[in-house]
Amino acid sequence: MMHKEIAAGLNLPSLEKGWVWLVGAGPGDPGLITALGLQALAQADVILYDALVDEHLLTLSTAEKIYAGKRAGVRSCKQDEISETLVALAKEGKRVLRLKGGDPFVFGRGGEEAQALAHAGVPFRIVPGVTAGIGGLAYAGIPVTHRDTNHAVTFITGHGIDGKLTKMDWAAVSRGAPTLVLYMARRFAAEISQALLAAGRKPDEPVAIVANAARSDQQVIVTTLSDLAAAAENAPSLAIIVIGENVRLAEELSWLAKTRP
């Protein structure tokens, strides 16, 4: 069956005029976008995309494209302005696609944008995406949970709005979280590893830095908690850090390199 026939068989809703769809594009590989995401790409009049969105995905759409990216430190676009633009475009009657890296509701401020739309009375749909802390790990051959290693997983952002290390009870996290998946944490790898070691985590606990996950330049650095700070210093900046026994599975399950020519 052709792709188009399959998509038609799904009876997907249409991106209507005056609506905003908040869509997750996944962590890199454009193939990870959902069917609803493709529908939005095909039907949008205008796309507001952020820095993490794969460029190839954007070239598939003829819509007007507006860059609405932010990078830690560089405030190229203020959050309020992005929300205001979304509201204004929808009120003009445009079909608006807000395309974000990973999942829009995972450390992506999608919640704030949705709140702005709700307050303005703009109808919207949330289209979840593959988040870097799950799908990105899968591209490194690391199951985010595994029966033999961890029955729980904790997602943490390394820094908050103020750009400083996230304030939290790291000792409690250390005791209660068998596997930690850290977003935006590379700059704070030294502080985080120190806090976890001080709280009793083992220095030889396995850690992976999954950089540029699901992209053509993916790099997986496997290290230990005691060596994390040094390893993070040399790693590319776009990275997920995963701490826990499940990291050991990467040795057996890494598959990406094997599928490349």
Contacts of 77 (CB under 8 A, 6+ apart): 67, 68, 69, 70
Sheet holding 154-157, edge to edge: 154-157, 180-183, 239-243, 206-211, 219-224
Q: Which is nearer to ligand SAH, 37 or 101 (CB)?
A: 101
The window from 13-21, 118-126, 129-137, 242-250 that contacts ligand SAH (CB under 6 A) reads 129-137
Q: With CB under 6 A, what is the number of residues at the site for ligand SAH?
A: 24
Q: Tell me which of 41, 90, 208, 213 binds ligand SAH, using CB under 6 A.
A: 213
What distance lies between CA 250 and its chain's CA centroid?
Answer: 20
Q: Which residue is nearest to ligand SAH (CB)?
A: 102
Query: Is 141 a binder of ligand SAH (CB under 6 A)?
Result: no
Q: Which is nearer to ligand SAH, 52 or 114 (CB)?
A: 52
Q: Which is nearer to ligand SAH, 94 or 210 (CB)?
A: 210
Q: Which is nearer to ligand SAH, 50 or 205 (CB)?
A: 50
Alpha helices in the chain (DSSP H): 3-9, 35-43, 55-59, 79-91, 110-120, 137-138, 170-176, 189-198, 228-233, 250-253, 256-259
70 carries an active-site annotation: yes
In what helix (H) or strand (E) does residue 73 lie, and over which residues does it extend? none
Minimum separation from the CB atom of position 21 to ligand SAH (A): 16
> In this structure, are residues 184 and 155 in contact, taking their beta carbons and an 8 Å threshold?
no
Query: Is 184 a binder of ligand SAH (CB under 6 A)?
Result: yes
Query: Is 214 a binder of ligand SAH (CB under 6 A)?
Result: yes
The window from 36-44, 80-88, 237-245, 253-261 that contacts ligand SAH (CB under 6 A) reads 237-245
Query: Is 47 a binder of ligand SAH (CB under 6 A)?
Result: no
What distance lies between CA 118 and its chain's CA centroid?
Answer: 23
Minimum separation from the CB atom of position 109 to ligand SAH (A): 8
54 carries an active-site annotation: no
184 carries an active-site annotation: yes
CA 28, 32, 35 angle in degrees (round to 5)?
A: 140
User: At residue 124, what are phi and psi to the nearest 5 degrees?
Assistant: -145, 160
Three-state SS at 58: helix
Find the catalytic residue in 29, 94, 100, 184.
184
Minimum separation from the CB atom of position 200 to ligand SAH (A): 25
Q: Which is nearer to ligand SAH, 209 or 249 (CB)?
A: 209
In what helix (H) or strand (E) does residue 218 lie, and over which residues does it extend? none
In what helix (H) or strand (E) does residue 23 lie, and over which residues does it extend? strand 20-24
Which residues are the active-site residues?
50, 70, 184
Q: Give the binding site for ligand SAH (CB under 6 A).
A: 27-28, 52, 100-103, 106-108, 131-132, 136, 183-184, 210-215, 238-240
